[in-house]
Every structure is written in structure tokens, then in C-alpha cells.
Amino acid sequence: MPMSYEVIQADLDRDREIILDLWNNHHDQRLDDKYQWLYEQNPDGRALVWLARVEGTDEYVGMTSLFPRRLLYMNGRQQSAIAGDLFICPEHRSLQAAILLQRTLLEAVDAGAVSTVYVFPNRQAALVMRRVGYKFIAPMIRMVWILKADRQLQKRGLNRILSKVVSLPIDFYLWCKSLLHVISFRKNLKYSLVKIFDERYEQLWDRCRHQFDIGLDKNAAYMNWKYVSDPYNENHIFSIFDLKKRVMFGCIVYREDKRSIEIRDIVVEDDDDICGFLIYFFLKYIRRCRAESVYAGVLENSRMKDRLLKMGFMQGSKGRDIFFYSSKSTIGDTSHMGDSRKWLLMNCDDDT
């Protein structure tokens, strides 16, 4: 006989142990630190959580969450959220419970909980998202800059000695490629690592936030919470400044990922020269690491992808498909929300 389920909205304080036990009993990485950081301390608002249970019992079998985000939308701001942490216990893993959870979540959106939801589902969850009404934006694309070609050549069959010899002119070419963007080098621009996002970043973001029609409000409070307080990753903030005016012109948030460097966020003036300086100085700086490549995840057909291609990055593999759902009652016409060129989304914006 098919199992019947019901969904309730959880209280983060009252139901904390239920949520933690449900997650921790089925995952290697415990939810405790993430719960405090992502569920309770998000500067854009506390998480909304729904729990699925066997109807008429206290047997909890699944959960899903909304994590509030402030969305910059067509020169205004909207309260949005990222949907995440969709989980169904293995013994109850069917479309029924997952669809019931997502439909309940979207009912809350239509009732005004938030105006827009975006989501980075895996392949299995993407089927659920399409079925309940989410709309497709675009896939994520990995953009790559090769720092050391020898390992790439070894992966393609060259032996170690020959790959080192052949890689020398390739590495030299790649380095010269980065120099093309700093021919008109400004001597007063210098780079530095900073520890926090301060008023200089806030001023930079105020100048940059109008470059895209749709994107997250990445103000200093949000960035400090997301990257400085991140309990799982050691993030670094690389910035370029005008020393005379003490003005920040751009920054890159990155982390070391085994043999690679992941660019997690980029905020830079809408100026090809300044963007070129930022990329050049960043590549120069991180060459002291033993990384073989630098990569960033961006939306396919987005302006950020075009910018990185122009700076010399190469297109790599496709990642997850990105979807959105908007409440027509709070945001009106949503036809343009599916246009990836209007969005600023990077892979790191999936912090669920």
C-alpha cells in the first residue's frame, strides 16, 4: 500500500533537534555548524524549513529549505531566496514526498513569503523542479585559466619529462596572454589581500551593482557573512586599489581547491582595463601557489562569461542547470527572468 505523507513548516528553535537528527543521520558532513551560520545567522533573514513526515505520525522522512536573499531586480530590490537542502530518507525516496515538499514551498512563495526563488538542483532534483513549476535559466559553465600545462599534457598521454619540456612554451604563451590587458598599466594601481569587506568595498559595490539587471545584493554585510564567517572554507579576498585615492577598484574572492584555485566571487568596475589589471595581478599573485589552474563557475550565455572569455579564460565543462520560480502577485511579468544575460550568478551563489 502506498505511503501517505504530510508536510509541516518547522520552527527553527523548537524543531532544531528534529532537523539536525534528520540530516546528520544520513550525511557524513554534519549540519550543526551550517545550521547556526546558514539557517540562523543569515543577514538577509532566517531560513524557512518544511518537514515531511508519514501522515498521522512523528516519523520525519524529508525536508527542504528556503534561505532568504536580497535580489537586485531591475533597479529595485526584492526579497528572494535560494531553495536548498532538499532531502528524502532513502527508504522513502520517491517523487511523492519530494514533490509534496516542493509544492508546499512554492505555495508559501505564492502567498508572499518571498518574491523569487532560484535553485541549483542536482540531476535527480531537477526533474522535481521542472514538474512543480520552476523555469529554466541556463546551465553553469566552468571557465578555466591553465597555470601549468605539464599536468594537463600528462593527462593526455605525454610522459612526465616530455610534458615538462613541451609545457614551457605553452606556459610562456599563457603568461603573455595575461599581459595583453595591462599594456596601459596604471602605476598607481596596486594589489593587496584584505581580511574583511569594509567601507571601501561598500563604495565599490555601490558603483558596480547596476551592471546586471538581476543578481544578489552583495553588500559588505552579506559578503562578510558569506565568506569571512564561512565555517567550511578558508576564503581569501584579493583586491586592487588606487593608492593615492585609497579607492578599491575590484576584488576577487578565492579559495584553494587541491591543485586548483576557485574564484568564488568577482566584483569589479565596468571597465576592461581595470578588469584586465585585476585578472593579471591575481594570476601573478597566485602563481606562487602550486596550483595548476584557476576556475570560476558562471552562467552560460551570461555577461560574466563574456567578460572572462575576453580576459583570456577558456570554456570548460557544463555544471548544474539553474532554475527560478517567481510569484506573479509580487513581481509581475517574469518573462525576462529566464534570460541568462540579465543575471549575475556564480557557482558560489549556491551556498546551500
Q: What is the C-alpha separation between 311 and 245, in angstroms, rounded?
A: 26
Listed in sequence order, the residues at least 6 apart from 142 whose beta carbon sits closer than 8 Å to its beta carbon are 295, 296, 297, 315, 316, 317, 318, 319, 347
Answer yes or no: do 128 and 160 share one domain. Answer: no
Residue at which a domain ends, from 74, 98, 133: 133
- If you average pLDDT over residues 8-32, what whole number do you get? 95
Answer yes or no: do 188 and 97 share one domain. Answer: no
Other Cβ atoms less than 10 A from the Cβ of 172: the count is 11
Answer yes or no: do 120 and 160 share one domain. Answer: no
Q: Domain range spanning residue 51?
A: 5-133
Count of the separate structural domains present in the chain: 2
Considering the domain boundaries, does residue 270 fall inside one?
Answer: yes
Task: Determine which of 108-117, 172-181, 196-205, 330-339 has the lowest per-residue pLDDT on average.
Answer: 172-181
Residue at which a domain ends, from 91, 107, 133: 133
Q: Which CATH number does the domain housing residue 101 bear?
A: 3.40.630.30
C-alpha cell, 67: 534561505
> What is the per-residue pLDDT across 83-115, written as a single tens digit (0 to 9) for each?
999 999 999 888 899 999 999 999 999 999 999
Q: What's the pLDDT score for residue 84?
A: 94
Considering the domain boundaries, does residue 330 fall inside one?
Answer: no
Considering the domain boundaries, does residue 34 fall inside one?
Answer: yes
Answer yes or no: do 168 and 310 share one domain. Answer: yes
Q: What is the C-alpha separation between 104 and 110, in angstroms, rounded?
A: 10
Q: What's the pLDDT score for residue 280?
A: 86
Answer yes or no: do 79 and 53 share one domain. Answer: yes
Backbone torsions φ then ψ of 243, nearest 5 degrees:
-65, -35
Answer yes or no: do 186 and 56 share one domain. Answer: no
> What is the per-residue pLDDT across 180-200, written as a single tens digit (0 to 9) for each?
555 455 557 888 999 999 999
Indicate whether this model's pTM tops 0.75. yes
Answer yes or no: do 123 and 187 share one domain. Answer: no
Q: What's the pLDDT score for residue 187?
A: 59
Strand partners, 71: 78, 216
> What is the per-residue pLDDT across 115-139, written as a single tens digit (0 to 9) for each?
999 999 999 899 999 999 999 999 9
Burial pattern 326-343, b for ≥16 Cβ within 10 A else e, equals bbeebbeeeeebeebbbb
Q: What's the pLDDT score for residue 101?
A: 96
Answer yes or no: do 79 and 156 share one domain. Answer: no
